[in-house]
Structures are given as structure tokens and as C-alpha cells.
Amino acid sequence: MSFRAIQLSKTDAGFAAALVALDENSLPAGDVRVAISHSTLNFKDGLAITNRSPVVRLWPMVAGIDGAGTVLASSHPDWRAGDRVILNGWGVGETHWGCLAEQASLSGDWLVRLPDALGPREAMVIGTAGYTAMLSVLALERQGVASGDGEVLVTGATGGVGSVAVALLAGLGYRVVAATGKADEADFLRQLGAAEVISRDALSAPGKPLQKERWAAVVDCVGSHTLANACAQTRYGGVVTACGLAQGMDFPASVAPFILRGVRLIGIDSVMAPRAAREQAWARLATDLPADKLALIGAREIGLDEVIATAGELMAGRVRGRVVVDVAR
């Protein structure tokens, strides 16, 4: 039996991305076979599908780092046919065939049970971006940051991670300050719960190692000078989580905030996070992300036959917000 998939290939003739029909027997090894209902088009997927960056490590590759669907067959003790599951990360779409396909063969250790409060489409509106935001919020909580401690800065606030972080933190009672380069999105951020919206220009240029203390905590989705300035402005004993690199992978900072103010910098990894952390994050997303805020974040919905063209739009900066792929469409 065949299934449709976005397949990426590289040969002596060059690179190609195509919607193809594949035989079930061609699926890679895995102890759980999943009928994918919905997937997403993330920035990493866009890089892979347009061949803009060496994301793919094994050829040919089926793209798609996120997926939600129903177990078709399983030899893994934790899963049986009919279970609803979510997949995020684990190198899927890079070193193992991914979820921009009607079927995926996966390791049961990578899967998380889809919470009853969420449907597969809602889970993919959240996707890796929202799951990463929740990991950041959980890290702040573990470090003892409470809602009454002061302002929490979210950088890259209109992005997938940033927008969910704003909604989550505001819903939990934190006073959120959202930094963005998109002035016309200020009303959107306030609707998500931001108490104040500032320009990213206040953070994106080189700054002093220590600056006026303001933030009790920071969720940084940007990296580079923005992360350095956020650390330099964090109050004594404050916490900064780093989960993105939209401005760059560099960190042009000094140790001053860490040794003179006791600032804690916490790295957030969503790709290889252990299963317990994933389960906790998705359980909290199901209860702590208000339905009206999720609807406000929304998503553009496309079918598999639109993925390749939309990936080009994404890389050209012409796509706003999340993109959900209805695999059966």
C-alpha cells in the first residue's frame, strides 16, 4: 500500500523536493507506525525543503519535524493501535524520515500521548514552537521565578515560540514585556497578554556588559546581542532562558551579569529533551494555554501539495505565524 510524502533527495543530478507516493515497505525501521493526521511547516523544515541549509543528514529524506496522529501498529510496550500521539524533534526530518507524510515509522520512545484536551490540529498549531515555549516557562518555574517577582521579557515575541510564551506567562499572572521588530503587531501581542510592547532595537545593538537592572526573568528566542543585552539588564538573581537564534548563534557578552549579579542562564533544548520533560510540557500546554489565545495565534492551513511552494514563501519572509499541514487534504 502506498502513501504520500514530501521526499527530499540529493544525487549527482542535484537536489530535489517532491510530493511522491511511497510504498509502506520503504518506511525506515521503527517500532511504532503512525497514521499522520497533521504536521507543520517549521523554519527548519523550510531550510530543508528549499535546501538553504545542511539540515538533512541522510538521503533520501521525508521532511517534517512535527507530527500528530494515530498509532496503526506497535511492537513497543507503551503504545497500541488507536493511541493518539505527538512527535517533536529527535532528529526526525533530519536523520530519520519525518511527518510531512501520511505515514511515519517511529521509535515509541520518541512519542508523547496527545492530551485529551487537544486535537491533532490544535497540537500542531502549538507544535515544536509552543512546546519549546512551555519548556522555557517550566525552566523559570524550576528556578523559582514567581509571578510577583517582576517583569518578564520575551524577545522575538511575534514568532512561534515568543507568541506562545507571551500567552502562557500572561495567563500564569506574570507581567510580560514583549520585544518585537514588528510595530504593527503590538495590538496582537497585547491581546495575547503583553502588558507592554517594546522595539527590538532597544536590545539588538551592541551594549554595555552591565546595564540598568529591569527583568526578573527573560525568555530569549533571538540570541546574539539581544541575549547579551537581556542578560546585562536582568536583575540580581534573575533567570534567562535561551531557546532561539533568530539574530545569530553568537553570544557577544561578558561574565559580569553572572558573577556580579548572580544571573542564571538556562539553555532550552527541545530536540533531545527526555520524554518525562515532554510529557510535562504537553500536559501543561493542555491546561495553561487558553483556547482563546491559541485561536488568536491561529495558523494557516495547507495540504501536502502546497508544502513545497509554502516553504519557499516561508524562506522569503512572506509567511506570518504558524503553518499547519492537513496531511489528508
- Residue 90: give its domain's CATH number: 3.90.180.10
Prediction pTM value: 0.93
203 sits in which H/E element: helix 201-204
Domain of 168 in residue numbering reads as 128-267
69 sits in which H/E element: strand 66-74
Distances in Å between the Cα of 133 and the Cα atoms of 189, 197, 278, 321 are 15, 18, 12, 15
Judgement on whether residues 138 and 254 belong to the same structural domain of the protein:
yes
Write down the pLDDT at residue 225. 98
Query: Are the C-beta atoms of 314 and 49 separated by less than 8 Å?
Result: no
* Cell numbers for 171: 495567563
Predicted confidence band of residue 298 (pLDDT cuts 50, 70, 90): confident
Is the pLDDT assigned to residue 207 strictly greater than 90? yes
Radius of gyration of the chain from its Cα atoms, rounded to whole angstroms? 20
Is the pLDDT assigned to residue 317 strictly greater than 80? no
Judgement on whether residues 59 and 146 belong to the same structural domain of the protein:
no
Predicted confidence band of residue 100 (pLDDT cuts 50, 70, 90): very high
Q: How far is it, in rounded angstroms, from Cα 251 to Cα 268?
A: 15
Write down the pLDDT at residue 43. 85
Residue 76 inside a domain? The answer is: yes
Predicted confidence band of residue 308 (pLDDT cuts 50, 70, 90): very high
Judgement on whether residues 134 and 50 belong to the same structural domain of the protein:
no
Task: Write the pLDDT tens digit of every residue in 239-260.
Answer: 999 999 989 999 999 999 999 9
Judgement on whether residues 109 and 135 belong to the same structural domain of the protein:
no
Predicted confidence band of residue 285 (pLDDT cuts 50, 70, 90): very high
Domains in the chain, number: 2
